[in-house]
Structure 1
Amino acid sequence: MDISIVIVNYNVKHFLEQCLHSVEKALQNVQGEVFVVDNNSVDGSAQLINEKFPNVTFIQNTENVGFSRANNQAIQQSNGKYVLLLNPDTVVEEDTFEKVISFMESHPDAGGLGVKMIDGKGVFLPESKRGLPTPWVAFYKMFGLSRLFPKSKKFGKYHLSYLDKDEVHEIDVLAGAFMLLRKSALDKVGLLDETFFMYGEDIDLSYRIQKGGYKNYYYPETTIIHYKGESTKKGSLNYVKVFYNAMVIFARKHFSGSKASIFALLINLAIYFRALLSASKRVLQKIYIPVVDALLIFAGFWLITPTWEQFRFHQPDYYPPEFMQFVVPVYCLFFLFGILFSGGYIKPVSIYKVGRGILWGLISLLLAYSLVDEQYRFSRALILLGTAWSGVILIAYRLLGHWFKISDFRLNSQRTRKIAIVGHSKEARRVQQILEETRIRSQMAGFIALDSSDKGQNYMGELSQLEEIIRINRIDEIVFCAENISSADIIKAMLDLSRLDIDYKIAPPESASIIGSNSIHTAGDLYVVNLNAISKSGNKRKKRFLDLVSATLILILSPVLIWFTGNKGNFIKNIFKVIVGKKSWIGYIPNAAEESKLPTLKEGILHPGDRFPGLELDKEKSVQLNRLYAKDYNLLSDVELLLKGWKHLDR
């Protein structure tokens, strides 16, 4: 057996499907075996493996045991001369395995090998080659010097950025996304250290391979796509803590004396420094636009009030100082909360939602105005004038920010995306149908031919003319049909066009999904047939809002409602589980065959079947009702289900 491929999966089913298709193609001329170790995913990954990839050796864990332990489970069962640790969010070329095995065979001193990696937009990933993170190398990386001086041999050691990315190099650290290992070297130096739950295990194993007398190589003669769809976002506090703590474990294990102490000190300083930066950045990103809004609204009232006093009462300072000090800030809060609940602070910016939020703020403010004591009612006219000012100024400065291309003010223009499909006629039309049955706003620009047999009415040109087609037709997105075009050709096209602002997706054969990733910080953009309605962020927000409001109301009425329930303890528990977000009032019918293929929802207390109390729910009916609920979701359907099923809230 030439090679054993080990893939650890955790809730990235659609990426995994794409990866396994590319692996199958790459094994055509190589004797190999494939292991998938699943760390208790809840997205239907197990069903995907069992249905579509029966030849894969599938190891299913009942808990998330971490990256190192999961890999070790498969390595211990492997029979290959070489072991490849491969991320599920990768796509390999058809000859990748042949090339890397050939290189290892001709370099008996090689214990491990990494390859050239690009992201979902065709951009080279610097972690394809890395140096050992000694205390000073780590210091240069953590405090930004490596980014400032990438070509410096002193400061650029972390990503070895001074080395040519298109030449073979001896390196220190292999990337865990594609880590080819000689099995005999593993037998000598040991498997992955399970002390590392996530991150750091690749550095540790690479270092032990070198200490065992072997070399690690960077091999750019083959390229893979690595979408980098990690479950932990790199800007999060959790990532900072997990990643840098892994570095502390590495230092204590491999460095001794003062060197280890210095490294640990630097790491801890970096943790606090990066955590402070990350927390400050996240807080500022959340609050700075509302703060600017509040200041502008207040400024409007501050300017309008004296003018109104002079015009209406011919008397300056007609209103007491408390009006500007206390009452106007309260007015500001009404408008801010109106915009918040309208979705006006969600990016990209929606002018409609901002305007709607101001209107909601006005209505709420006028209602409150009518209920307060007479002495706190100052002027409806000022409220209306302030509302007009708020509408004009808040919308105007957002438009200005968009015009200056400030990312936080990018407008949600709902512009229709122009998409071109690369593939043979039959498969291209199948992919077109998937796109048409999703709810994305797209315009089919046409098809791109692979050979002369594809030429037809809707074809714009051949793959060799791709750049020209994109420029002339102003294409926003290219979808590659993986059944017709090789991974190598897809990767080549992405590399050739990486300078263009184009998005790419890949449609695996016989799959109802199309997936890609346009940023290394996102887990991927997914187009799935018919099932987008309930997964939209707006619908998720509305569903959560209904859960909170209804749970609060049910809690208030619980002294009465509890007498109509059988399991009173469950009834009370369910109310609080919904309030804290562990459950939703409405979810899918459980144990339906296709439940795992639907967008993820919280466990529900009621389900779509409760709308039809007398209906016997077999598997087929349950699947159909779940799909209809996901596809055609609206808030009123949840309200109807709550009203019909309120006696069953004790489930």
Structure 2
Amino acid sequence: MKIAIVILNWNGKILLEKFIPSIVTYSTLPNIEIVVADNASTDDSVPFIKQNYPKITIIKNDKNGGYAKGYNEALQHVVADVYCLINSDIEVTDGWLNPIISIFEKERKTSIVQPKILDYKNKSLFEYAGAGGGFIDKYGYPYCRGRIFNTIETNLDQFNDVSEIFWASGACFFIRSSVFHELNGFDEDYFAHQEEIDLCWRAKNNNNTIKYVGTSTVYHIGGATLKEKNPKKTFLNFRNSLFSLTKNLPKHKLLTILFIRLVLDGIAGVKFLFELKPIHTLAIIKAHFNFYFYVPKMLKKRKVNQQKNNYFTVKSIVWKYFISGKKTFNKL
């Protein structure tokens, strides 16, 4: 089995200097290729790789099309059985590949895998983007084992298991190449954020299994490209979540759930106002208007036979978290 570890880069020389060494050091199994897919960087990223890591393959994209388009274009030129799509701000650990390769070899229906993702800045904590594997609730809000909204759990080995999940984090995302291309890759209308949730949902609708492998660990800085306080992040997260619901919900649930989600987004916008963060309220408003513009296109992308109720472990994570006070995954 050939594994291609593909790092998407855009003006990330500092991150590459810091994190490439761990990937090179701990990815020495046979049939491993390391690739840097460069999104038209204007810094010295590419010369740095050429000079210091001549064995790393470099693929140059014509422009910065974001996470989705960047990977879609680069992976047309990568031949492997499994792609590992990994952020440039991730430190991997000794033996991180072995348990994941074992899952792919033993379980043919398992098509997507995520390792345990801990916080590079505080290695005792789970990291926001993926933690111990992802789910979404009935209304499309994503959450993880180890992270619900902004509550982050301490890693106490409670998620050292191998478990089926709904979505795997794009920060460190393993996928069979055949499935990636069968699904036509990421939806490029997302640009960035939550495109991996959409891809996983589409994979689920095609009867693929997604696994979390807690015996493999990586450390993620998070927010290295787009900070949490950036309103563009708020815009993308709210809009793209609506995209995923429109594309993937069963037909009989689509209108009702979309309406409730839009109302909940409105409440979130009011909450931002009370927190004196009007720029994020404006970002939600812009996200909704941009979503309305894209609705016809998203409806055309729907499949005929979506699976029913395969996407949530709780009906409303908003209710569980804010009303019932359930702040950790095991209390849901």
TM-score range, shorter chain: 0.7 to 0.9
Instruction: Indicate conservation of the 8 Å contact 2:162/2:213, yes or no.
Output: yes
Alpha-carbon distance in structure 1 between the residues aligned to 2:150 and 2:227: 23
Alpha-carbon distance in structure 1 between the residues aligned to 2:149 and 2:87: 26
Match of 1:35 in 2: 35
| Equivalent in 101, 125, 128 of residue 127 of structure 2 | 125
Which SS does the other structure have where 1:195 is aligned? Answer: helix
Displacement of 1:206 after TM fit? 1.1
Alpha-carbon distance in structure 2 between the residues aligned to 1:61 and 1:75: 11
Match of 2:215 in 1: 221
Alpha-carbon distance in structure 1 between the residues aligned to 2:46 and 2:150: 45
User: In the TM superposition, what are the counterparts of 1:5-404 in structure 2 within 5 Å?
Assistant: 5-120=5-120, 121-122=122-123, 123-125=125-127, 127-136=130-139, 138=141, 164-257=158-251, 259-278=253-272, 281=275
Larger C-alpha radius of gyration, 1 or 2? 1
Tell me the amino acid that sits aligned with residue 125 of structure 1: E
Tell me the amino acid that sits aligned with residue 243 of structure 2: I
The alignment's C-alpha RMSD in Å is 3.0
> Larger strand proportion, structure 1 or 2?
2
Displacement of 1:132 after TM fit? 4.0
Q: TM-score, normalised by structure 2?
A: 0.72
Give per-residue Cα distances to partners, 1:493-518, cap 9 Å, x unaligned: xxxxxxxxxxxxxxxxxxxxxxxxxx
Which SS does the other structure have where 1:186 is aligned? Answer: helix
Tell me the amino acid that sits aligned with residue 166 of structure 1: N
Alpha-carbon distance in structure 2 between the residues aligned to 1:94 and 1:25: 8
Alpha-carbon distance in structure 1 between the residues aligned to 2:104 and 2:162: 13
Tell me the amino acid that sits aligned with residue 37 of structure 1: A
Which SS does the other structure have where 1:5 is aligned? Answer: strand
Give per-residue Cα distances to partners, 1:374-408, cap 9 Å, x unaligned: xxxxxxxxxxxxxxxxxxxxxxxxxxxxxxxxxxx
Give per-residue Cα distances to partners, 1:60-101, cap 9 Å, x unaligned: 234311111111122211221111110110011132123311
Give per-residue Cα distances to partners, 1:396-447, cap 9 Å, x unaligned: xxxxxxxxxxxxxxxxxxxxxxxxxxxxxxxxxxxxxxxxxxxxxxxxxxxx
Alpha-carbon distance in structure 1 between the residues aligned to 2:150 and 2:58: 45
Which SS does the other structure have where 1:113 is aligned? Answer: strand
User: In the TM superposition, what are the counterparts of 1:581-600 in structure 2 within 5 Å?
Assistant: none
Which SS does the other structure have where 1:135 is aligned? Answer: coil
Pick closer, same or farther for the CA change 1:149–1:43 going to 2, 3 Å.
closer
Alpha-carbon distance in structure 2 between the residues aligned to 1:201 and 1:45: 25
Tell me the amino acid that sits aligned with residue 245 of structure 1: R
Instruction: Indicate conservation of the 8 Å contact 2:117/2:132, yes or no.
Output: no
Alpha-carbon distance in structure 1 between the residues aligned to 2:162 and 2:103: 11
Displacement of 1:197 after TM fit? 0.5
Instruction: Indicate conservation of the 8 Å contact 1:132/1:172, yes or no.
Output: yes
Which SS does the other structure have where 1:96 is aligned? Answer: coil
What's the % identity of the aligned pairs?
A: 23
Give per-residue Cα distances to partners, 1:585-624, cap 9 Å, x unaligned: xxxxxxxxxxxxxxxxxxxxxxxxxxxxxxxxxxxxxxxx
Q: TM-score, normalised by structure 1?
A: 0.38
Alpha-carbon distance in structure 1 between the residues aligned to 2:99 and 2:150: 35
Match of 2:287 in 1: none
Extract unaligned runs of 5+ from structure 2: 279-332
Which SS does the other structure have where 2:25 is aligned? Answer: helix
User: Which has the higher mean CA deviation after the structures are superposed, 56-65 or 69-78?
Assistant: 56-65
Which SS does the other structure have where 1:128 is aligned? Answer: coil
Alpha-carbon distance in structure 2 between the residues aligned to 1:186 and 1:180: 10
Which SS does the other structure have where 1:240 is aligned? Answer: helix
Instruction: Indicate conservation of the 8 Å contact 1:68/1:194, yes or no.
Output: yes
Displacement of 1:279 after TM fit? 5.4
Alpha-carbon distance in structure 1 between the residues aligned to 2:36 and 2:273: 36
Displacement of 1:148 after TM fit? 10
Q: After TM superposition, which residue ranges in structure 1, 4 or more long, deviate above 4 angstroms?
A: 146-150
Instruction: Indicate conservation of the 8 Å contact 2:6/2:34, yes or no.
Output: yes
Give per-residue Cα distances to partners, 1:320-375, cap 9 Å, x unaligned: xxxxxxxxxxxxxxxxxxxxxxxxxxxxxxxxxxxxxxxxxxxxxxxxxxxxxxxx
Alpha-carbon distance in structure 2 between the residues aligned to 1:168 and 1:263: 31
Alpha-carbon distance in structure 1 between the residues aligned to 2:213 and 2:96: 11
Alpha-carbon distance in structure 1 between the residues aligned to 2:200 and 2:216: 20
Which SS does the other structure have where 2:236 is aligned? Answer: helix
Give per-residue Cα distances to partners, 1:31-87, cap 9 Å, x unaligned: 121221222333321221222122222222343111111111222112211111101
User: In the TM superposition, what are the counterparts of 1:515-594 in structure 2 within 5 Å?
Assistant: none
Pick closer, same or farther for the CA change 1:20–1:279 going to 2, 3 Å.
farther
Which SS does the other structure have where 2:229 is aligned? Answer: coil
| Greater RCO (CA < 8 Å, at least 6 residues apart) | 2
Displacement of 1:198 after TM fit? 0.5
Tell me the amino acid that sits aligned with residue 165 of structure 1: F
Displacement of 1:227 after TM fit? 0.7
Instruction: Indicate conservation of the 8 Å contact 1:167/1:220, yes or no.
Output: yes
Pick closer, same or farther for the CA change 1:132–1:99 going to 2, 3 Å.
closer
Alpha-carbon distance in structure 2 between the residues aligned to 1:28 and 1:74: 22
Give per-residue Cα distances to partners, 1:111-159, cap 9 Å, x unaligned: 1110111112101226234444243462x96xxxx56999xxxxxxxx9
Displacement of 1:186 after TM fit? 2.5
Displacement of 1:181 after TM fit? 0.8
Displacement of 1:21 after TM fit? 1.4
Displacement of 1:254 after TM fit? 0.9
Extract unaligned runs of 5+ from structure 1: 151-158, 285-651
Pick closer, same or farther for the CA change 1:149–1:238 going to 2, 3 Å.
closer
Displacement of 1:268 after TM fit? 3.2
Pick closer, same or farther for the CA change 1:237–1:283 going to 2, 3 Å.
same
Displacement of 1:244 after TM fit? 0.9
Give per-residue Cα distances to partners, 1:140-192, cap 9 Å, x unaligned: 96xxxx56999xxxxxxxx9x9x941211111100001111122322433322
Which SS does the other structure have where 1:268 is aligned? Answer: helix
Pick closer, same or farther for the CA change 1:45–1:275 going to 2, 3 Å.
farther
Tell me the amino acid that sits aligned with residue 75 of structure 1: L
Instruction: Indicate conservation of the 8 Å contact 2:167/2:210, yes or no.
Output: yes
Alpha-carbon distance in structure 2 between the residues aligned to 1:147 and 1:198: 19
Instruction: Indicate conservation of the 8 Å contact 2:8/2:88, yes or no.
Output: yes
Give per-residue Cα distances to partners, 1:229-288, cap 9 Å, x unaligned: 33322233221111110011111111244522233334433444434444554559xxxx
